[in-house]
Amino acid sequence: MRIASIIMIALSFWIAACVAPVAPAAPPAATVAPAAESSTLTKVRVGHVPVTIYAPLFIAAEKGYFAEEGIDIELLPVEGGAENVVQVSAGNFDVAGGGIGAGMLNAVARGIEFEIVAPLHTERPPLTSPFVVSKARFDSGELTQMSDLRGMKVSTNAKGAATEYWLWKALQQGGLDFADVEVLGVGFREVAPALESGSLDGAILGEPLATLAEDQGLIARLSQDFIDGFTSTVIYYNKEWATNNPELAQGFVKAYIRGARDLNGDLWSSDENAAIIEKYTGVPAEVVKRANRSYHDPNGEVPLADLMELQRFFRAQGQLSYDEEIDMSEFINTSYAEAAVAELGGPIPWE
């Protein structure tokens, strides 16, 4: 891939979030509530990226949990999670999931109103977003440790995305910082070809694309343990929608948490769940089972400390348009999750 092509990709994905589009192409938007019930349900538009970290949405939709709450869920695929911020603030989506990136933080500072109601996913080693390099260059001994990347081109799926924090943490393992490399924004599905051509030297690559590329002999994982127990993605509401539809807002979180609980522990890799994830991502179930999994809090607790850490990181990188630190707790509404967990019989262990 030519460098110019990479630059164009970076520009087009400038506001993309923690994840980028999966290959094959995203399934078309679909309403998944049972047809017989659709006339009694209320449509709720939900922005998502068709990758595995959004699995609780897929599980809750396919198993009818949203329908039980009176919701006719319309899952609307986008290129990246930060696009959801724009769509939610414009009222085009009622609900969305995405990363806490520089774009979202700058939107908060501009007064865009939304409320964070649940975490989306948490990273634990082996990570859902490992750092990878070309398998050929790894096997040759040219790139075998993070310190080998000094002076080279590395990428996240987008500048200002939460994955930029991932990249920084990975570089730190090799004693490197952003000043020691050239950082590009390259969509996840473009990473393997760019590594193979040599126009890119290393990258953060999200699952299940990492496993797919590994199966094809294109990439090697250089590091997948540079973060542990960190949450960067959340579920959030258009605040006007939530205010006008309190029962739907409450029911959505309850259904979502049920979906997360169905992925807890060993349940993640069940045949049923893998088949559902395959349906919504286009990735074969057997690959889903082998890919590094994401973790989803079965009690819906949003870790404020992680959100504040991301804000400090983007401030240190000079990517925030405001000076005074924002108290992110002002944008977190815990009442939905607390009520949902109570209705579901109380908290359960997170495995």
* pLDDT computed for residue 90 by the predictor: 84
Q: What is the pLDDT of residues 216-239, one digit of tens each?
A: 999 999 999 999 999 989 999 999
Q: What is the pLDDT of residues 302-351, one digit of tens each?
A: 999 999 999 999 999 999 999 999 999 999 999 999 999 999 999 999 99
Alpha helices for 44-111 (secondary structure H) = 55-62, 65-68, 81-89, 102-109
* pLDDT computed for residue 104 by the predictor: 85
Nearest to 133 by CA among 222, 233, 61: 222
Looking at residue 200, the DSSP 8-state letter turns out to be -
Residues in the chain with pLDDT values less than 50: 1-36
| CA separation for the pair 346, 284 (Å, rounded) | 34
Whether the Cβ atoms of residue 344 and residue 258 lie closer than 8 Å to each other:
yes
Domains and CATH numbers, the chain: 7-125+229-343 (3.40.190.10), 127-223 (3.40.190.10)
* pLDDT computed for residue 253 by the predictor: 98
In the chain, what is the straight-line distance between the N-terminal and C-terminal CA atoms, in Å?
41
Question: What are the phi and psi torsion angles at 192 (to 5°)?
Answer: -60, -45
What does pTM read for this prediction? 0.84
* pLDDT computed for residue 282 by the predictor: 86
Nearest to 102 by CA among 309, 325, 308, 315: 315
Output the CA torsion sign for 83, 88, 94, 98. Answer: positive
| CA separation for the pair 213, 223 (Å, rounded) | 15
| CA separation for the pair 209, 274 (Å, rounded) | 15
| CA separation for the pair 28, 47 (Å, rounded) | 12
* pLDDT computed for residue 39 by the predictor: 63
* pLDDT computed for residue 72 by the predictor: 98
Nearest to 260 by CA among 333, 316, 340, 189: 340
Nearest to 63 by CA among 261, 265, 321: 261
Amino acid present at 309:
E
